[in-house]
């Protein structure tokens, strides 16, 4: 019996029970559509995070206080910062650090920001004027923090867009006053919206002069004295000079801190941050795919169930075919083809449905969070291959049962 004849027979058998075949196929459709749509959402979230960090520039280094490593274990930042504002200014020396273009020291804390009857708890970041260029942020209205504000420890603040909306609605807050941790600050500007997503918003922050954050809002002291900073963002003149910049920054800080053995700071590049986040979010994407794959497994069990029922119902038919000369291989192939066709057909419909759902969800907002989806061909191909493999796997046992039937026993079956 030829393959074409076996395939045609399988199609005719499926056509004789259209409703049952359709319901069985529906389980695979739902499973494949779930895999594609959920993995598209996961990859979309991954892409959004990567793009947002990449937008800051790939030529950035982040210097943070804390010992470098002991063996393979990295130590966290201690209770006292080892970096100061003077350290950041020293990195601008064109002789010792010619690869450094600009620096943006930061001092982070959190506090209650109050305006009239409205209030919000948010990040309060002490910065310098170079923050806008180094971290690639723009002022939507008003002005940014100037050098005079830093020198005079001025109580001025630049609001993130979401904080501005929470406190002032659609009114322009420039010139208004807010209270941060009980102290009165004048609003001098509002940042442009940088967008938010499923992993939080970068607009939920307020910026103050770094000296004001240290002296007015309270901060940790440093062993060396001076204004403590938690991070120094270093903008390198050229992406190809990253290694040279790391060496220069390390040399300057070691000289300033009189370090002989172990460094009291760590240096990470923007690219390392992106790679670490991609590794983390890849786990998240795989986890979403694994959850969705459970529905594919349920669909495969449904195929096995229907095929076992089909073998029982068609026992006499199998006996007649064997009595007329059909070989065991022919019966086996027919039932395997039926199971695979059901699964593959459901997989194809599921791919179309999943891609449609991904496109439909792209850019949609749910619960205040915006979905970004990335539907790629490899996900669709993988889901289709897995669906066909599931049909083959779950169809083997019913097919072997059908092929093993003795013709006389099958003909006697009622």
pLDDT in tens, 208-219: 999 999 988 875
Cα separation, 338 vs 334, in Å, equals 6
Residue 196 pairs in a beta bridge with: 201
| pLDDT of 411 | 60
Residue 269 lies in a domain: no
Residue 82 lies in a domain: yes
Q: Backbone dihedral region of 6: left (phi > 0), alpha (psi from -120 to 50 degrees) or beta?
A: alpha
Question: Same domain, yes or no, for 403 and 280?
Answer: yes
Supply the range of the domain harboring residue 210. Answer: 67-263
Question: Same domain, yes or no, for 296 and 229?
Answer: no
Of 229, 263, 297, the one marking the end of a domain is: 263
Question: Same domain, yes or no, for 30 and 113?
Answer: no
Question: Same domain, yes or no, for 39 and 103?
Answer: no
Residue 338 lies in a domain: yes
| pLDDT of 136 | 83
Of 241, 263, 285, the one marking the end of a domain is: 263
Question: Same domain, yes or no, for 15 and 109?
Answer: no
Judge whether 179 and 95 are in contact, CB under 8 Å. no
Strands (E), 91-148: 100-115, 118-127, 139-142
What does the DSSP assignment read for 233-264? EEEES-GGGHHHHHHHHHHHHHHHHT-SSS-S
Cα separation, 170 vs 159, in Å, equals 13
Question: Same domain, yes or no, for 90 and 214?
Answer: yes
| pLDDT of 184 | 94
Question: Same domain, yes or no, for 26 and 83?
Answer: no
| pLDDT of 131 | 93
Among 377, 348, 374, 376, smallest CA distance to 361 is for 374
pLDDT along the chain (414 residues), means of 10: 62 69 80 83 77 68 70 38 87 91 91 92 94 88 94 94 92 93 93 63 87 80 69 86 88 88 82 72 77 78 78 70 72 76 82 85 67 76 80 76 67 57
Tokens for 72, please give them: 């393979």
Residue 271 lies in a domain: no
* Pairing assessment for the beta strands 60-65 and 265-269 based on DSSP bridges: antiparallel
Question: Same domain, yes or no, for 49 and 71?
Answer: no
Among 130, 107, 67, smallest CA distance to 210 is for 107
For the chain, the domain total comes to 2
Residue whose pair of structure tokens reads 């019913």 in the numeric block:
398
Residue 60 lies in a domain: no
Of 234, 263, 292, the one marking the end of a domain is: 263
Question: Same domain, yes or no, for 221 and 174?
Answer: yes
Question: Same domain, yes or no, for 259 and 280?
Answer: no
Among 306, 356, 362, smallest CA distance to 335 is for 306
Tokens for 378, please give them: 């490899």
Residue 157 pairs in a beta bridge with: 187
Cα separation, 380 vs 402, in Å, equals 33
Question: Same domain, yes or no, for 253 and 168?
Answer: yes
Segment 176-196, tens digit of pLDDT: 999 998 899 999 999 998 765
Strands (E), 200-329: 200-201, 205-209, 231-236, 265-269
Question: Same domain, yes or no, for 88 and 212?
Answer: yes
Residue 408 lies in a domain: yes
Residue 62 lies in a domain: no
Cα separation, 87 vs 223, in Å, equals 13
Residue 58 lies in a domain: no
| pLDDT of 378 | 78
| pLDDT of 145 | 95
């Amino acid at each position: 019996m030829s393959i074409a004849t076996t395939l045609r027979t399988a199609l005719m058998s499926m056509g004789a029970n259209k409703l049952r075949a359709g319901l069985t196929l529906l389980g695979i459709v739902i499973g494949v559509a779930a895999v594609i749509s959920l993995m598209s959402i996961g990859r979309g979230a991954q892409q959004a995070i990567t793009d947002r960090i990449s937008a800051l520039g790939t030529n950035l280094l982040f210097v943070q206080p804390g010992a470098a490593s002991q063996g393979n274990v990295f130590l966290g930042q201690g209770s006292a910062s080892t970096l100061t504002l003077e350290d950041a200014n020293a990195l601008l020396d064109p002789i010792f650090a010619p690869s450094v273009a600009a620096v943006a020291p930061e001092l982070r804390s959190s506090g209650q920001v109050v305006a009239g009857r409205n209030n919000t708890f948010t990040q309060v970041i002490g910065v310098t004027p170079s923050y806008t260029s180094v971290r690639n942020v723009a002022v939507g209205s008003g002005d940014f923090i100037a050098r005079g504000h830093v020198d005079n420890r001025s109580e001025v603040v630049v609001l993130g867009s979401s904080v501005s909306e929470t406190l002032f609605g659609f009114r322009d807050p420039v010139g208004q006053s807010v209270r941060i941790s009980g102290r009165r600050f004048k609003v001098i500007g509002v940042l442009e919206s940088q967008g938010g997503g499923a992993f939080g918003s970068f607009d939920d922050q307020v910026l103050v002069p770094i000296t004001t954050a240290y002296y007015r809002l309270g901060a940790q002291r440093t062993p060396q004295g001076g204004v403590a900073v938690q991070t120094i963002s270093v903008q390198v003149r050229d992406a190809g000079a990253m290694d040279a910049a790391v060496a220069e920054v390390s040399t300057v800080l070691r000289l300033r801190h009189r370090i002989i053995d172990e460094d009291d700071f760590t240096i990470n590049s923007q690219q390392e941050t992106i790679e670490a986040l991609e590794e983390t979010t890849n786990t998240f994407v795989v986890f979403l795919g694994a959850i969705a794959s459970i529905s594919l497994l349920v669909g495969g069990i449904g195929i096995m169930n229907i095929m076992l029922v089909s073998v029982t119902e068609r026992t006499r038919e199998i006996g007649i075919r064997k009595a007329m000369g059909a070989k065991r291989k022919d019966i086996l192939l027919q039932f395997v083809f039926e199971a695979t066709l059901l699964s593959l057909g459901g997989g194809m419909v599921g791919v179309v449905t999943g891609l449609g759902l991904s496109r439909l969800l792209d850019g949609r907002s749910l619960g205040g969070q915006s979905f970004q989806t990335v539907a790629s061909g490899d996900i669709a191909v993988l889901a289709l291959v897995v669906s066909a493999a599931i049909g083959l796997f779950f169809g083997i046992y019913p097919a072997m049962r059908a092929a093993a039937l003795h013709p006389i026993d099958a003909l006697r079956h009622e």
